[in-house]
Copies of this chain bind each other. A is one copy, B any other.
Amino acid sequence: MSSSAHDIEEGLAFTPKFGADGLITAVATDAKSGEVLMVAHMNDEALRKTIASGEAWYYSRSRKALWKKGETSGHVQRVLELRVDCDQDALWLKVEQQGPGACHTGRRSCFYRAVPLGKAGSTTLEFRDADKVFDPGKVYK
């Protein structure tokens, strides 16, 4: 292992590794239940704003824009803890989700469908925890 890789993994200097697109993967989990709410991305500015404010900011790849989670819906994510992984190319946010849900489809989590296991070639998903907890048509005008 190079000394640099050792520093990244064992050191206390925060040196987030953004991809070629300038983004780093961020996973938000519900701090109480451990449920994964969403997987999103941050650019350097989103990360700085998240650290400074304690509320989650992301970068939308589809809209190509910085984005405060909840800026339209009010469903802000209060960050209780922010962690970085061994090679510093992924972030984990333990959040307190304000409002009923994190997903723009109206669900609590974006992960409301399961892929059946053990069935090679099967492509039919199954709904899990898929009840809509808010009406996205009303929340996003």
* Nearest Cβ on chain B to A77's Cβ, whole angstroms: 12
Contact B125 A92 (CB under 8 A): no
Complexed CA–CA distance, A29 and B27 (Å): 11
Task: Quickly give the copy total for this chain.
Answer: 2
- For A34, what are the chain B residues with a Cβ–Cβ distance below 8 Å? 29, 33-35
Chain A residues numbered 30-72 whose CB sits less than 8 Å from any CB in chain B: 33-36, 38-39, 48, 51-52, 54
Contact B86 A103 (CB under 8 A): yes
Q: Mark A69-100, 1 if CB is under 8 A from B, else 0.
A: 00000000001011111110011100000000
Contact A117 B29 (CB under 8 A): no
- For A103, what are the chain B residues with a Cβ–Cβ distance below 8 Å? 86
Contact A9 B84 (CB under 8 A): no
Q: Assuming the A-B contacts A39-B27, A120-B48, are A86 and B110 also in contact, with contact meaning beta carbons closer than 8 angstroms in the complex?
A: yes
Contact A82 B114 (CB under 8 A): yes
Contact B52 A14 (CB under 8 A): no
**A3 interface hit (Cβ, 8 Å):** no
Contact A105 B86 (CB under 8 A): yes
